[in-house]
Structure 1
Amino acid sequence: MHALDVREGALVLGVPDRFFRDWVDDHYRSLLEATLARVGNGLVKVAYEVVEEPSGGPNLLPAPTVKENSARPPRLNARFTFATFVVSDSNQLPAAAAQAVSEKPGHNYNPLYIYGGTGLGKTHLLHAVGNHIWEKDGSQRVVYLSSEQFTNEYVESVREHRMADFRRKFREECDVLLIDDIQFLGKREETQKEFFYTFNTLYELNKAIVLTSDTLPSEIPGLEERLRSRFTMGLITDIREPNYETRVAILQKKAEAERLTLPDDVAHFIAKHIQRNVRELEGALVKLSAIHSLSRQPLTVEFAANVLKDILPANRVVDVEAIQREVARYYKVTVEALKEDRRHKALAHARQVAMYLCRKLTKSSFPEIASRFNKDHSTVIASVRKVEGSRETDPTVKRELDDLEEKLGV
C-alpha cells in the first residue's frame, strides 16, 4: 500500500486488490482519517485505487499475475499462496498435506481436513490449494466458499426452485471443493443432507475436497454421524499457535511482500506481544506500515509501541485462574477436566504442569492450590516436584513449560 495522489481533498492510496482495500477500510479508515486530520495539511478523507501492477513504491504489494486463458475462480484470494505461507513446526504437516493435494487433486489425502484456532492460517492454506491447482491447470473448476455461504446458496436455491442449478454447480461443474469453517454446518439438518450427497458424488469421482474447521469432526455439535465418518476418511491434521521464532519469521516475510523494511528489533517487539494469532500479527503490520507511510517517521520500537498501543494486549495478571485457562488451551482440554479426578496420562500431565506453574508464578500456598484443583495438598507437592525434575531431564517438558510461561507473559 502506498500514497498515489491527492484528489478532491482525499489522499488516494494504492492497494493491490479489492480484498486488501476492503480489509484496510474496515479496520483502519477511522485511524487513517484521524491521522490525516493531524498531519495531512487539510486532508481529512481516504480513498483507494486498485493498482494492477507494482510501480516501485516502498510499501506496494506485488500485484498478482492473472492468467490470460481463464479468470481466477470466484472468491479465491491471489495473495494467499504457498510461497507466502510461513512453514514451521506448528503447521508443517498441514502445509505439506495441502501442497500434496494441490499436486494430485482427488488422489492425495482426500478429503483433507485441517483444524485449529482462529487466525492461524487455515484459510490461507485453503486458498493456496485452489490457487496452485488453478495456476497449474486453468481448466480445473475450483469452488471455494464457507459453509455459511454454502448454506445460504442452498436455502436460496430451495426458495427459488433452482435446486437443479445448485446441484449442477457443486456436483457436475466442480473439480475441487474447498469449504472453510465446516463446523457451522452442525445442527443444520437439511443443509447437511445436501452436503452429504454432494460430498459422496465428488468423492466417488475422485474430485478433491479440502475442509477447514476450528475443531475435530467428533467435536462439532449437531454434525450427523455419517458426515463425521466421511470427514475422517482422508487426513485430519491441525495447525497450532506459532512459536516466537515463527512469529518473527511471519512478520519478516509479510514485510518483505509489502516492500517494507522492518528492523529486527521491531519485528521481535511485535512478536513478543502478539503471541496467538497470525491474523493479529498481519493486522499490526498493516497498521504500522500505513502510519509509517503517512507520517514518514522512522520505524523504531518506540514508534511501534505508540502506533500499536491500542491493539497490543495489556499486561495480564497471572493468577491460578489464568494459569488453568492457559494450560487447558495449550493441552486442548477443559478447565473443568483439570479439576476432575480422571487419571488419563495426558490429562494428568496437564494437571501437574498447571499445579507447578501455580506454585512457581503465584503466591498461592500448597493448600490454596489444592483447593482450586479439588485435590489435597500432598498431591500438589508431589506434582510440583515431579514437574521440577522433568524440566531438568526431559527436553519436551522443558519446551512445554517455556512455551506456557511465554504465553503467560513471564
Structure 2
Amino acid sequence: MKIAILGTRGIPNYYGGFEQFAEYFSAYCVEKGHDVYVYNSHNHPYQEKTFKGVHILHQHDPEYKMGTFGQFIYDYNCIKDIRKRDFDVILQLGYTSSSVWCFLIPKKPILITNMDGLEWKRSKYSRPVRQFLKFAERLAAVSSDYLVADSLGIKSSLKNRYNKESVYIAYGAHPFNNPDDSILKEYNVEKDNYTMVMARFEPENNIDMVLEGVVLRNDATPILVVGKHETKYGNYLKEKFKDYPHIRFIGGLYNIDHLNNLRYYSKLYFHGHSVGGTNPSLLEAMASSALIAAHNNDFNKGVLKENAYYFSNAQDVANLLATLVKSDNLQIIQNNFEAITHDFNWNKINGDYLRFFEECNAKKNRAVAG
C-alpha cells in the first residue's frame, strides 16, 4: 500500500504523542514492505527527505508567526499536496485543523481518522472555539471512511454522538529494561528522592493542582516539571511557584532514554491529564516502572485500573506525597509493566493498525472488483 500520514508536525518526534506514534508506525510499515509518506512542517528540525525509509514531505507551516490559525494553513498545504499523489490510504491524526478541508481530500484513497481526545472539552479554549471544535469533530466523523478511537471512552462517545462505529486501538510504549542512574546527575537529582509531573502546559492537565499539593506538603523533595513552558500558562505557573526552588521547570524533554530513567528512578510520578483518550506519556510511565499517582477520571482509570493512586485536589496530592512509599507498591508497578508488555506494546499497536489498514484496503478492492 501507498500510505500518507497527515496531522502531525512531523517525524522524528520533537513534539508529542501523535508525532511519536507516526514515527514508530511509519517505520514499522516500511519494514513490512509498504510505501509510506509523512507530512512535516517546513521548519521541523529534521530536514532530510527520508527517515528510516519513510518519505518526508515538508510543507509550509506558518504557525510560528500566525499562531493557531497557521495550523489550518499547514493542513491545507498538506492536503493540497495529497491531491497530487496516488495514495491508497490516508491516516489523519486528529481533526482540529484538518477536517475543515475534508472536501478537498480525494475520494479514491481510504480516509482513516484517529479522533484524538474530546478537544472541545478543553478548558483552555473559549466558548466559540469549543463550538468550532465540536463542528470539526462532526466533520471528521462524517467525512472519514473509518474511525479509530484510542480509548474505549472515545469509542463510546463517537457511537453516542454520531451513531458511528470506530475501531479501538490504543497507543503503545516500549518496555524499559535498561536503567542507568548516571543520567540523574544531569538533572541534579538522586534516585528515589524526587518526584515528577510531565504534561503540556494546559489547565486540564492539572499541573497547577499537583504543584499546589507539593507546596501544601511543605518539604524540600524536588519535583521535576517536564514540558515546554514558554507559554502564557507556563509563565503563569512559573511566576506562581517562583519562591519554591524545589519546584524545577526543566522544559520539554525528548530524549526517551533520559525520560525513561527519570521516570524509573522517581519516587512518585504524577499524571494530571483529565481530557482525552489513552495518553502516551502515561503508557511510557507504566513501561518505565514508575509508581503513578493519576488524576481521578475515567480515561486514566480505564488504563491504570487499580494499579495507581488517584487524586482529585491539591490536598489529595499532599496526602499521597506524605504517605506513599515506592518499595511498598512493587506489585502494582509490576502489574502496569505487564500491561505494557501484553496490551500496549508498540509491536502489537503497530500490528493492529496495519491489519486494520489491510482489511479496509481489501474490502475496498472487493467492492471495486464486484
Is the TM value for this pair above 0.5? no
Structure having the larger proportion of residues in helix: 1
Structure of greater Rg? 1
More strand by proportion, 1 or 2?
2
User: TM-score, normalized by length of structure 2?
Assistant: 0.27
TM-score scaled by structure 1?
0.25
